Homo-oligomer: A and B are copies of this chain.
């Protein structure tokens, strides 16, 4: 079972590493980071470099595709060659997935038309323009298409997908192995839970957070 995780410059690290840490522990999993340009790709902060071992042409029939998000996603909304690769591998996948604004790339590639999907909460309003129907759920399954909300939600998606693929016991063993018994020190992880002024502040600078073009 090959799991391909797409990288690009200015991706968000946890978007990629959350699904990696859960799915790479599935029995028989072979995980590969893939990018248009093999080699080191830096996250949006610039201080974290993750290696893509494979070029797009090296990965043609993955069983699972994971597309992370991050501010760098915006540079690929019109990247026809990348969209073509996404569509080509999607023809072979058992599961095509995204975390955060990665769903905008799946949408730009035309894969979310008429499908329920999610994204980072600041990007939900971009889904309809790509033909998708945004939901408020943290992890959305629509057929083989699985989209997760912002950044950290990829962990929940990875575990949910692990359960579908290998059964509840296998997913629970992965959860226990990574001691995923979350105890956030604040209850501010969703726009309707955080203090209103903090939600408003992030909304105001969302162009910076998401690098959305006007």
Contact of A176 among B14, B185, B199 (CB under 8 A): B199
- B188 contacts A176, C-beta separation under 8 Å: yes
Name the 8 nearest CB pairs between A and B, nearest first. Answer: A150-B179, A181-B189, A49-B51, A172-B188, A182-B182, A151-B178, A180-B189, A181-B190
- Which residue among A31, A155, A159 has the maximum number of chain B CB atoms within 10 Å of its CB? A155
Chain B residues lying within 8 Å of A32, measured Cβ to Cβ, are 47
Q: With an 8 A cutoff between CB atoms, is A209 at the interface?
A: yes
Give the docked Cα–Cα distance between A30 and B138 (Å).
Answer: 31
Contact of A182 among B13, B21, B152, B185 (CB under 8 A): B152
Chain B residues lying within 8 Å of A186, measured Cβ to Cβ, are 159, 163, 168, 171-172, 175
Give the docked Cα–Cα distance between A168 and B17 (Å).
Answer: 26
Give the docked Cα–Cα distance between A32 and B18 (Å).
Answer: 21
- Which residue among A14, A40, A151 has the maximum number of chain B CB atoms within 10 Å of its CB? A14
- B193 contacts A181, C-beta separation under 8 Å: yes
Q: Which of A25-64 contact B (CB under 8 A)?
A: 25, 30-33, 40, 45, 47-51, 53
Number of interface residues of A (CB under 8 A): 65
Task: Using CB atoms, name the residue of chain B closest to A187.
Answer: B181
Report the minimal beta-carbon distance from A38 to chain B, rounded to whole angstroms.
Answer: 11
- A120 contacts B18, C-beta separation under 8 Å: no
Give the docked Cα–Cα distance between A17 and B14 (Å).
Answer: 7
Chain B residues lying within 8 Å of A151, measured Cβ to Cβ, are 21, 177-180
Give the docked Cα–Cα distance between A188 and B184 (Å).
Answer: 17
Q: With an 8 A cutoff between CB atoms, is A166 at the interface?
A: no
- B156 contacts A173, C-beta separation under 8 Å: no
Task: Using CB atoms, name the residue of chain B closest to A50.
Answer: B50
Q: With an 8 A cutoff between CB atoms, is A160 at the interface?
A: yes
Task: Using CB atoms, name the residue of chain B closest to A156.
Answer: B183
- A184 contacts B184, C-beta separation under 8 Å: no
Task: Using CB atoms, name the residue of chain B closest to A22.
Answer: B14
- B179 contacts A155, C-beta separation under 8 Å: no
Give the docked Cα–Cα distance between A24 and B48 (Å).
Answer: 10
Report the minimal beta-carbon distance from A186 to chain B, rounded to whole angstroms.
Answer: 5
